Structure 1
């Protein structure tokens, strides 16, 4: 699901995103308990939302190289 109604002051930029204006990924927990992921350079695109367990599975797969 893509959301366009999330508060701008709740975003947290990834620690892996550079400070030099490069690609920036940010996330926040929604009021419903979902994890939202968006592009800090283009918030008009909205954010994809995931169940926290699904997002954690993705992160674990990235860390182990299985994605």
Structure 2
């Protein structure tokens, strides 16, 4: 996965707390990793599965 561009959650704090990084620039999969331990690898989800997960979280917890 050398062509992966990682981004940190917009809800991450600036002191390096518990965060995940996600890459959404691949066509069919979404890798997710721990921002504190990026060399430990990533979990890779099918894009549709990840979209359903994010949608479910947004329905359960108000943003903002």
Task: Give the TM-score taking structure 1 as reference length.
Answer: 0.73
Q: How many pairs are equivalent?
A: 61
Q: What do you get for the CA RMSD once the two structures are aligned?
A: 2.4
1:57 aligns with 2:52: yes
**Larger relative contact order (CA 8 Å, sep ≥ 6):** 1
Q: Distance in 2 between matches of 1:49 and 1:9?
A: 12
Match of 2:12 in 1: 17
Once superposed, which parts of structure 1, at least 4 consecutive aligned residues long, lie more than 4 Å away?
A: none
Contact 1:30–1:36, Cα closer than 8 Å, also in 2: no
1:33 aligns with 2:28: yes
Q: What 5-or-longer segments of structure 2 have no aligned partner?
A: none
Q: Distance in 2 between matches of 1:51 and 1:24?
A: 21
Task: Give the TM-score taking structure 2 as reference length.
Answer: 0.76
SS class of match (2:32): strand
